[in-house]
Amino acid sequence: MTGRRKSGCLRPFCGRVLLEAVAVSYSNPSVSFAPTLVIDIHGTAAKQLAEQLTHSGLTADSADTCVEARAAVRSQHYGAMVFLGDLSNLEDVRCIVELRKRAQRTWIIAISSTGLPNARQLHLGYGVDAQIVTPFSMEDLLSRLVAFARRSRPP
C-alpha cells in the first residue's frame, strides 16, 4: 500500500481531500447516501472495489453475477450501481438493460476498458448514466458517487 499511483500520490494519502468532501457531504442534510452496488460478472474485482468504497466511508455491496445483482436490487434500494465490464459483450448488455428496468431511479456507472469513440454512446444507449475508462482513479469514482448523491434522482 505504499506504492505510487499514476497521479503521483502515495496510496494511503490519495483521496484525503475527497474523503473530507465526503465527510462534509455527510454532514449536509440535503445529501443522502444510499448504498452502492458493485457488479463484476466476469471477474472478482467487485468485492475488492466494494471494500475500497466502504473504506472511503460509503456503504457498498458486491455482486459477482447478474443473478446476484438482480436479487440485491430486489431486496434493497441502491443509490448507485458500479458495473465493471465491457458493454460490447452481449451478456453484459443484457445485465445492464435488465438492471436498468428494475432500478430506474438508480444511477449506473460503467467502468470499462473500452475507449472506443462510440463507447460512450453505446453505454448511454443501454441505460448507463456515466462511463469511466480504465485505468481510473478511485478519486474519480468517489467524486461521481458524491455528485450523484447530491442529485435527487437520475435524469
Query: pLDDT, tens digit, for every residue of 70-125?
Result: 999 999 989 999 999 877 778 888 999 999 998 888 999 988 876 666 766 777 77
Burial class, 122, CB count within 10 angstroms (exposed 0-12 / middle 13-18 / buried 19+): middle
Query: pLDDT, tens digit, for every residue of 43-68?
Result: 888 999 999 998 888 899 999 999 99
Q: What domains does the chain contain, in order, with CATH numbers? A: 35-147 (3.40.50.2300)
Three-state SS sequence of 33-62:
CCCEEEECCCCCHHHHHHHHHHHCCCCEEE
Q: Which helix (H) or strand (E) holds 94?
A: helix 90-102
Amino acid at 60: A
Rounded-to-integer distance, Cα 133 and Cα 122, Å: 13
* 114 conformational bin, left if phi > 0, alpha if psi -120 to 50, beta if neither: beta
Amino acid at 54: T
